[in-house]
Chain A
């Protein structure tokens, strides 16, 4: 009875085309943002901020990126880790080579570098598709990690191959990276960034370019016939997706872990992000957030719940169980709800509209 749209009349095209046409959705989003920006920094402790919320936001950004490519444009990619590494190392090189450059610009530029690399590895998508392309993106994954691992130039010849984020401030002494940055500052910066990027992604998928991605996804030859240029659609999907993923990689290195080596972005990272978008929902920005939350929280739950109810499970057993549960969940979601958690949320909203009458 609370959630309903009756009586909300749209009197202009702009109102009809809004992102949240229903008033309650708008309020819900505003409340969520208010809580995220003003309540959480006050309430949450350092563990929550740095070990749960920051990785959640970083993964959300990566998942949005992969969702653009796989969910919206239908190009399966297993090279996410490689593109994340690209962003991370580009940000490191840029911020050490130009120390006076604002960190925000560094992140955007590193996303640009990742986008360029993404386009390069997206070129085969013009001729091959489906699993052939998935395997070709694995080439990106292995090649990029090898390159960052083997050539000292990328990590400024550090003997361990580890890059550490230099301390940088967004403005004044509002440090967002390095040891002197407070958890709240890191969190707020990341949150603001992710919120803006998510809004951009949402709008991209609603406009002409997003529609051309979806046409290519649904049937590429038909899309070509009705006048969509596959070259532009596919390459733009690769570029924009890699842009998001590259920034996520830079955030991972600079804000989440602070120091990172190339191997942190190995193929398991790619699978992790892929699982996020499958569980969260292919072709949904909300789903990227839900999937990221799910995958970040599940291991924490698995580690803590057996202890709480008195089971003693050895650590390696938990790791294997995690594998099994992830695998089973993937199959479960693909069979039962191919559109993921986002679709479940949508169904819940549909039900609420009709509540208390089922039809």
Chain B
């Protein structure tokens, strides 16, 4: 038996830290869902697109900080385009139609990004340290620690943004009821552009972190598929839910892979998160932190 406590904690911490990375992607989903009620399947494609744009400009010789600024501008333009071309004509459609529209956006952005920048694998190095650190017997990757700090800062900033600012209040009003928000003078379109821009920024951050870990390549878009179970576990509307869901999925997945996987032919990481999320849904259909919605005719 290969079980030992230091090994267990090493796997656990590794899992928790990779869960933070899932949370980064899941955050983008939550932001858009909270403010517009759209379940944005395209978040993964946005992560890929942001990272590709960044790497593309760096490879053209643009200094890193400037490239990041350009990537931010591109993501804001993308947000504007999505609002104009997709969301505005689809106002008042059932959520499931909007969801399918975002699948269309996903395919479009995937194809567009790769048409522009090619489908090679690019290395992305913006100077994040990547040495293994030892705490006692436990091995931790310093890169994952940086990612955790970044995620923490991002969440704090977003929390302040949502709770304390005027725009944050407007966002919450829109999330509550589109029509009521419009009737008290909150500009719905502006809010949507802001939300998609913020989600684009979160996608950029996630793209930088994942891109420097795995290289910028098409598989980044598939990370969205990893973030989905995180999301349904935590609840669609809860930022803390995204974080805690990410931690649970990350840790559970790694522990299951290492300790249960060998008995089940391995690679159970592919579906474990989904099965876990589905089981939770059977008992708590709104996720761990979601709002319970009472329906009536």
Q: Residues of A with Cβ closer than 8 Å to B?
A: 74, 76, 123-124, 127-128, 130-132, 134-136, 138-139, 142-143, 146, 150-151, 219, 221-222, 225, 267, 271, 274, 278, 316-317, 320-331, 334-335, 338
Check if B267 sits within 8 Å of A124, measured CB to CB: no
Check if A330 sits within 8 Å of B267, measured CB to CB: no
Q: List 27 A-B contacts (CB under 8 A).
A: A130-B99, A131-B39, A131-B99, A132-B232, A135-B228, A135-B231, A135-B277, A136-B232, A136-B274, A136-B278, A139-B274, A142-B271, A143-B271, A146-B267, A146-B268, A150-B264, A150-B266, A316-B114, A317-B115, A322-B111, A324-B107, A324-B111, A331-B104, A331-B108, A334-B90, A334-B97, A338-B97
**Interface of chain B: mostly helix, strand, loop or mixed:** helix
A282 to chain B, nearest CB (A): 9
Q: A139-B271, A321-B111 are in contact. List 17 more A-B contacts (CB 8 A).
A: A76-B100, A139-B278, A142-B271, A142-B274, A271-B103, A317-B115, A320-B114, A324-B108, A324-B111, A327-B110, A330-B103, A330-B104, A331-B104, A331-B105, A334-B97, A334-B104, A338-B97
B263 to chain A, nearest CB (A): 12
The residue on A at minimum CB distance from B284 is: A127
Residues B77-117 near A (CB distance < 8 A): 85-86, 89-90, 93, 95-97, 99-101, 103-112, 114-115
Measured between beta carbons, the chain A residues less than 8 angstroms from B90 are: 334-335
Q: Which of B108, B264, B265 has the most CB of A within 10 A?
A: B108
CA A135 to CA B119, docked complex, whole Å: 28
Check if A278 sits within 8 Å of B277, measured CB to CB: no
Measured between beta carbons, the chain A residues less than 8 angstroms from B296 are: 221
Q: Residues of B with Cβ closer than 8 Å to A?
A: 39, 85-86, 89-90, 93, 95-97, 99-101, 103-112, 114-115, 118-119, 225, 228-229, 231-232, 236, 264-268, 270-271, 274-275, 277-278, 281-282, 285, 295-297
CA A221 to CA B296, docked complex, whole Å: 7
Our pick among A139, A221, A317 for the contact of B275 (Cβ within 8 Å) is A139
Measured between beta carbons, the chain A residues less than 8 angstroms from B278 are: 124, 136, 139
Check if B96 sits within 8 Å of A330, measured CB to CB: no
Measured between beta carbons, the chain B residues less than 8 angstroms from A146 are: 267-268, 270-271
**Interface of chain A: mostly helix, strand, loop or mixed:** helix
Check if B281 sits within 8 Å of A124, measured CB to CB: yes
Check if A320 sits within 8 Å of B119, measured CB to CB: yes
B107 to chain A, nearest CB (A): 3
CA A225 to CA B277, docked complex, whole Å: 30
Check if A143 sits within 8 Å of B274, measured CB to CB: yes
Measured between beta carbons, the chain A residues less than 8 angstroms from B97 are: 334, 338
CA A136 to CA B85, docked complex, whole Å: 29
Check if B285 sits within 8 Å of A324, measured CB to CB: no
Check if B107 sits within 8 Å of A132, measured CB to CB: no
Check if B282 sits within 8 Å of A127, measured CB to CB: yes
Our pick among A274, A320, A325, A331 for the contact of B86 (Cβ within 8 Å) is A331
